[in-house]
Structure 1
Amino acid sequence: MSSTPVQPKVQVPDIAAQVTYAMRSMGVPPIPRNYELFYEAYIGSNPKLTRELAALGNKATQRELDAIGEQYFGEQHRANLVEGAHTKILSELEGLLRLLKQEQTSLESYNKLLGETFTRINTKNASSADLLRNAISILSDATGDTMAQGAVMVQNVVEKSAEMDLVRKELDEYKRIANTDSLTRLANRRAFDDKLAQIYSEKKHMSLTALVLCDIDHFKKINDSFGHPVGDKILATVGNVIKANVRKDVFVARTGGEEFAIIIEGNTETEALQIAERIRKALEATPFKNSKTGVDYGPVTLSLGVSMACDSEDPNEIYSKSDIALYCAKNSGRNRAMLFEDGMKKDAAKSWLLYRK
């Protein structure tokens, strides 16, 4: 029998300690938004979240953790991220202001000393040689101290500026995460709404700006037949196909469920419809098959509705027109792109049940 004494089992006192221990074991920074993720994973309220977090292993990056947080906690998670970064910026600015005030005080003292020395030199009663000797000594010491303080000040300002630049980059990253759909890595509905509003606030090149709304045909049937994990992969692939068939500067977003939006700037109505048709054909030709099992998930097709910004007064109107054109594309047999026409409004006034199937 081994003579090694049995070590008493360490009892973790509460959930908080266990969550902190798990984060430390995985090398995850113990910041509030990460704690929120691990707490939810520990109590098991969301099994999918728990599985996704466990799949990251001990090499999880902050970007991966934030992407999961955005997916499951949404607005509150984004608010916490931005609030934390704003707090950092305020702290750095306060430190910088203190440095500047110190520098101002130092310069004021130096100016006062220069004034007093000038007054002494002008005094006719003092010995000229002693006066000059003392004045030179005082000014030399003061100038040296002021220059040294100035050098330290410059270094401190440089360091503070570098720290604020890091916070700025962190905020930019948070904004990117907040405006990105975690599944497809495209822009999300939040970013889309901002972009569409920007078009009508700036009103530049509206005659060459088009909104294309896309909807995957029979997507509910795909989910029901093959399950949501397959549906998620198809959504990601569709996003990639759309992105691959437009210019890099074209705005592409997943606006919800199986719906996508494309804002095309710099193209005529005819060209925008041609781009929509190119996307449709590319997806129609894309195979959707499981390479291991051979199961064919396809065909996967898109219906698309197109309208021009110059034909609408505001974001709501152009969205409505593109949506009506999309409905008519579905009602006409799906897997097609259609340009909005005024006559479509009568058809769109009918039941929208078909559109949602």
Structure 2
Amino acid sequence: MNTAVAQKVQVPDIAAQVTYAMRIMNVSPIPRNYELFYEAYIGSNPKLTRELAALGNKASQEELDEIGAQYFGHHHGATSIDGVQLKIASELESLLRLLKQEQTSLESYNKLLDETFVRITAKNSTSVDIIKGVINVLTQATGDTITQGKEMVENVTQKSREMENVRKELDEYKRIANTDSLTQLSNRRAFDDRLSAIYNSTMSRNVTALILADIDHFKKINDTYGHPVGDKILASVGSLIRAHVRKDILVARTGGEEFAMIVEGNTEEEVMGIAERIRAALESTPFKNSKTGVNYGPITISLGFCMASWAEGPGELYSKADIALYCAKNGGRNRVVVFEDGMKKDFAKSWLIYRK
């Protein structure tokens, strides 16, 4: 393992600061509100910070949600998904009604057959009467049943098509709700779900790792060149990370200039190789404005990771990976550090601030 020694520094408790700010402003401590205040606290979007501060201590949930919808499109993803789910429920209900009608039709047909059998076996009926009665009853019942059956098939087929269209619509809403609009990577919602799922099974923990990455001196980039340039660099870094890992590795933007990767099926040495490949690729990538020739680089990234088997749950795994990331930053940046027992722990962010 690589060893990184962290200097003793005073690092603010972000979770406590954010919670305090929400309490002062009388804001309900729900996840989507926490995300707004967290982003405002780390200063990644000054405009958002100003709009949030302008609300004062009487901000309504509607006003907060309007800001959330403006800066975090996934806030309203759940509402859209709920609407599609209601459509699916409605289609299923219609389909069940059709099937129930078919069942009623078949039950009526069976009843007619039973009545015909009674007529045939009745001793007080003549042969001619029996034959005529059977022919009339069966002809009418069979014809009705066949017609109803054809209509039923057509209706069920149509309903199936409608349900398939609604399912595709739902899949698209889910994709949008789990995608970061700036980088087109997975967002915190998708990251949270995948991180929790690691501990649903003990089989793969030994070969699963969480890598956290943070762009070095990103605030300086924003301050020097402006947020539009910063956003482009964020998007480019996200694309570079995605291009240098396997498709099955979840790559997410978890906040500001921080990214996360959940790597499954690799040993500690292999994970180190994956992280080092990302670091080296970014270090060697030029960041220039093709029109003006302005060089925004060099752009580098620090990475820290922890194997899932070294933690009891997702919260501890996130905390240990974050400790390793901090040590990479504090050790000079532009490097990869793997978590080791004994590393400074009191500055690590809690994964719980990302829960939605």
TM bucket, shorter chain = 0.7 to 0.9
Letter in 1 for 2:311: S
Q: Work out whether residues 74 and 176 of structure 2, in 8 Å CA contact, stay in contact via their aligned partners in 1.
A: no
2:268 counterpart residue number: 269
Q: Work out whether residues 199 and 206 of structure 1, in 8 Å CA contact, stay in contact via their aligned partners in 2.
A: yes
The CA deviation at 1:203 is 2.5
The CA deviation at 1:288 is 0.4
2:109 counterpart residue number: 110
Cα gap change, 1:79/1:220 in structure 2, threshold over 3 Å: closer, same or farther?
Answer: same
Q: Deviations over 1:85-131 (max 9, x none)?
A: 12211221221122122112211211111111111111122220232
Q: Which segments of 5 or more consecutive residues in structure 2 lack a partner in the other structure?
A: 1-46, 49-67, 350-356
The CA deviation at 1:168 is 1.3
1:339 counterpart residue number: 338
Q: Find out whether 1:227 has 2:230 as its counterpart.
A: no
Output the TM-score relative to the length of structure 2: 0.76
Q: Distance in 1 between matches of 2:71 and 2:240?
A: 26
Q: Find out whether 1:170 has 2:169 as its counterpart.
A: yes
Q: Deviations over 1:215-244 (max 9, x none)?
A: 000000000111111101100110111111
Equivalent runs, 1:180-219 vs 2, <5 Å: 180-219=179-218
Equivalent runs, 1:83-162 vs 2, <5 Å: 83-162=82-161
Q: Deviations over 1:292-327 (max 9, x none)?
A: 000000111000001100010011111111111111
Q: Distance in 2 between matches of 1:216 and 1:131?
A: 91
Higher RCO structure, 1 or 2 (CA under 8 Å, sep 6+): 2
Moved more, 298-307 or 92-101: 92-101
Q: Work out whether residues 183 and 235 of structure 2, in 8 Å CA contact, stay in contact via their aligned partners in 1.
A: yes
The CA deviation at 1:343 is 2.5
Alignment size in residue pairs: 285
DSSP-derived class of the 2:305 partner: strand
Q: Work out whether residues 71 and 182 of structure 1, in 8 Å CA contact, stay in contact via their aligned partners in 2.
A: no
The CA deviation at 1:351 is 11
1:243 counterpart residue number: 242
Moved more, 305-314 or 121-130: 121-130
DSSP-derived class of the 1:344 partner: coil
DSSP-derived class of the 2:293 partner: coil
Q: Work out whether residues 323 and 347 of structure 2, in 8 Å CA contact, stay in contact via their aligned partners in 1.
A: no
Q: Find out whether 1:77 has 2:70 as its counterpart.
A: no
Q: Work out whether residues 322 and 348 of structure 2, in 8 Å CA contact, stay in contact via their aligned partners in 1.
A: no
Q: Distance in 2 between matches of 1:76 and 1:205?
A: 32
Letter in 2 for 1:318: L
Cα gap change, 1:350/1:308 in structure 2, threshold over 3 Å: closer, same or farther?
Answer: closer
Identity between Structure 1 and Structure 2 (%) = 68
Q: Deviations over 1:124-165 (max 9, x none)?
A: 222202321331232022112101111111111111122111
DSSP-derived class of the 2:294 partner: coil
Cα gap change, 1:71/1:283 in structure 2, threshold over 3 Å: closer, same or farther?
Answer: farther
Letter in 2 for 1:236: A
2:18 counterpart residue number: none
The CA deviation at 1:73 is 5.5
The CA deviation at 1:272 is 0.4
Q: Work out whether residues 192 and 255 of structure 1, in 8 Å CA contact, stay in contact via their aligned partners in 2.
A: yes
Moved more, 95-104 or 235-244: 95-104
DSSP-derived class of the 1:274 partner: helix
Q: Work out whether residues 213 and 261 of structure 1, in 8 Å CA contact, stay in contact via their aligned partners in 2.
A: yes
Q: Distance in 2 between matches of 1:350 and 1:307?
A: 16
Q: Distance in 1 between matches of 2:251 and 2:72?
A: 23
DSSP-derived class of the 1:280 partner: helix
Moved more, 195-204 or 228-237: 195-204
Q: Distance in 1 between matches of 2:165 and 2:77?
A: 18
Cα gap change, 1:244/1:138 in structure 2, threshold over 3 Å: closer, same or farther?
Answer: same
Q: Which segments of 5 or more consecutive residues in structure 1 lack a partner in the other structure?
A: 1-47, 50-68, 353-357
DSSP-derived class of the 1:143 partner: helix
Q: Distance in 1 between matches of 2:162 and 2:215?
A: 46
Q: Work out whether residues 303 and 337 of structure 2, in 8 Å CA contact, stay in contact via their aligned partners in 1.
A: yes
2:15 counterpart residue number: none
Cα gap change, 1:240/1:213 in structure 2, threshold over 3 Å: closer, same or farther?
Answer: same
Output the TM-score relative to the length of structure 1: 0.76
Letter in 1 for 2:330: N
Pairwise CA RMSD:
2.1
Q: Work out whether residues 323 and 348 of structure 2, in 8 Å CA contact, stay in contact via their aligned partners in 1.
A: no
Q: Work out whether residues 214 and 260 of structure 1, in 8 Å CA contact, stay in contact via their aligned partners in 2.
A: yes
Q: Work out whether residues 283 and 302 of structure 1, in 8 Å CA contact, stay in contact via their aligned partners in 2.
A: yes
